[in-house]
């Protein structure tokens, strides 16, 4: 365990960016805003600095980090090959919320890739993230800046709540515009003529990927959800992730049935602090405390609101939250994927 020190809260002006870059060059950890979620950044070419990320987050050693770049010229030295589909995806969606996995070069420390022969690279669009990478003058390894297992941070306050005393500084760039982590695609199958593989849904959607790179195979873990039946049980804590302390149960059904189900459960569980993790439109029908995450037909608003809503459940001391089930189209697939893990795959039909 590293010694605790005070975490600086830096502004996103020129002075804050310069100080963040200086700390990063000195192998320190800095929380930085990106368009997806806040990242916990370290010098990606310095194995010792990158290793500190795992300690600060309590991250399992076998979970590799994403390397963030600000220009295409930084990409080639990190990878052994750049297949045509990777270049097409970069042209279409970089800078933006897309991470590509390719065979790694010898320049990428083992710690960053957790010993894998591949490296994950992303070019963020957030102007402050880009400015910090440019000022540090090196790629930055940055996973989400939360303690491992807890909801990802979408504000500087979330980062401080998890990381105060564990990192040198956090740069406040305001709330994140996407709100869920980047889309992760594996490009290594394309080196043998195979399709791009979606490992994690995010702000770049499956139709967007297909428009630029052809067929996309969705890894079963993305949509792995249990039974269409009344109650699907959890496959185990191993897969619980992005989770608040509160128990989360996803409730599938139209708005009337959802509200009726939640109101009934609250009556049946008088000893537990029950809340609805719902859409704005659901509120009038609900007779329990509501923590809202966006509007029913607007997946982008759900993505922006989901992680903050999970943190509010805990701030409000909620024991169990019945979550309105999001659609799975577009960015909704990412929202559904995160909520499914927060709920440890527990879904009921109302």
Binding residues vs ligand AMP (CB under 6 A): 63-64, 66, 101, 113, 116, 118-120, 143-144, 181, 184, 199-200
Say if residues 40 and 51 touch (Cβ distance below 8 Å): no
Residue whose CB is less far from ligand AMP, 29 or 292: 29
Report the nearest approach of ligand AMP to the CB of residue 38 (Å).
11
Residue whose CB is less far from ligand AMP, 116 or 226: 116
Residue whose CB is less far from Mg ion, 144 or 208: 144
Residue whose CB is less far from ligand AMP, 64 or 203: 64
Q: Which of 86, 154, 150, 156 is closest to 122 using CA atoms?
A: 86
171, containing H or E segment: strand 169-171
Could you say which of Mg ion, ligand AMP, none residue 64 binds, taking C-beta under 5 to 8 angstroms by partner kind? ligand AMP
Could you say which of Mg ion, ligand AMP, none residue 243 binds, taking C-beta under 5 to 8 angstroms by partner kind? none
Alpha helices in the chain (DSSP H): 14-25, 47-57, 84-93, 110-113, 127-136, 156-163, 206-213, 220-223, 255-268, 299-315, 332-342
**Three-class SS of residue 341?**
helix
Q: ∠ at Cα 310 (320, 177), nearest 5°?
A: 155
Could you say which of ligand AMP, Mg ion, none residue 301 binds, taking C-beta under 5 to 8 angstroms by partner kind? none
Radius of gyration for the alpha carbons in the chain, expressed in angstroms and rounded:
20
Instruction: List residues binding Mg ion (CB under 5 A).
Output: 144
Report the nearest approach of Mg ion to the CB of residue 57 (Å).
8
Torsion sign across C-alpha atoms 14, 16, 17, 18? positive
Report the nearest approach of Mg ion to the CB of residue 284 (Å).
35
Cα–Cα distance between 335 and 306 in angstroms, integer? 8
Could you say which of ligand AMP, Mg ion, none residue 101 binds, taking C-beta under 5 to 8 angstroms by partner kind? ligand AMP
Report the nearest approach of Mg ion to the CB of residue 214 (Å).
28
Report the nearest approach of ligand AMP to the CB of residue 215 (Å).
20
């Amino acid at each position: 365990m590293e010694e605790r020190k005070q975490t600086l809260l830096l502004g996103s002006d020129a002075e804050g960016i310069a100080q963040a870059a200086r700390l990063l060059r000195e192998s320190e950890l800095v929380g930085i805003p990106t368009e997806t979620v806040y990242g916990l950044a370290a010098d990606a070419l310095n194995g010792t600095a990158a290793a500190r990320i795992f300690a600060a987050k309590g991250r399992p050693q076998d979970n590799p980090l994403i390397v963030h770049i600000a220009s295409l010229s930084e990409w080639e030295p990190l990878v052994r090959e750049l297949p045509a589909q990777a270049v097409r995806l970069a042209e279409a969606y970089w800078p933006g919320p897309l991470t590509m996995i390719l065979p790694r070069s010898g320049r990428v420390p083992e710690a960053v890739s957790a010993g894998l022969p591949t490296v994950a690279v992303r070019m963020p669009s957030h102007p402050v993230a880009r400015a910090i990478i440019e000022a540090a003058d090196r790629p930055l390894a940055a996973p989400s800046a939360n303690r491992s297992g807890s909801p990802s941070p979408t504000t500087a306050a979330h980062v401080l709540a998890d990381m105060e005393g564990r990192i040198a500084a956090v740069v406040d760039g305001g709330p994140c515009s996407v709100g869920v982590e980047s889309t992760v695609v594996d490009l290594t199958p394309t080196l043998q003529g195979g399709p791009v593989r979606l490992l994690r849904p995010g702000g770049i959607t499956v139709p967007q990927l297909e428009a630029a790179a052809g067929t996309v195979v969705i890894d079963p873990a993305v949509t792995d959800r249990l039974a269409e039946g009344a109650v699907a049980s959890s496959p185990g804590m191993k897969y619980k992730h992005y989770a608040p302390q509160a128990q989360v149960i996803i409730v599938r059904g139209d708005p009337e049935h959802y509200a009726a189900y939640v109101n009934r459960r609250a009556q049946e569980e008088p000893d537990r602090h029950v809340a609805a993790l719902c859409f704005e439109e659901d509120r009038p029908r609900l007779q329990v405390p509501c923590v809202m995450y966006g509007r029913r037909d607007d997946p982008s608003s759900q993505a922006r609101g989901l992680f903050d809503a999970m943190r509010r459940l805990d701030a409000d001391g909620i024991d169990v939250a019945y979550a309105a089930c999001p659609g799975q189209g577009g960015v909704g697939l990412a929202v559904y994927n995160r909520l499914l893990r927060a709920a440890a795959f527990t879904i009921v039909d109302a």
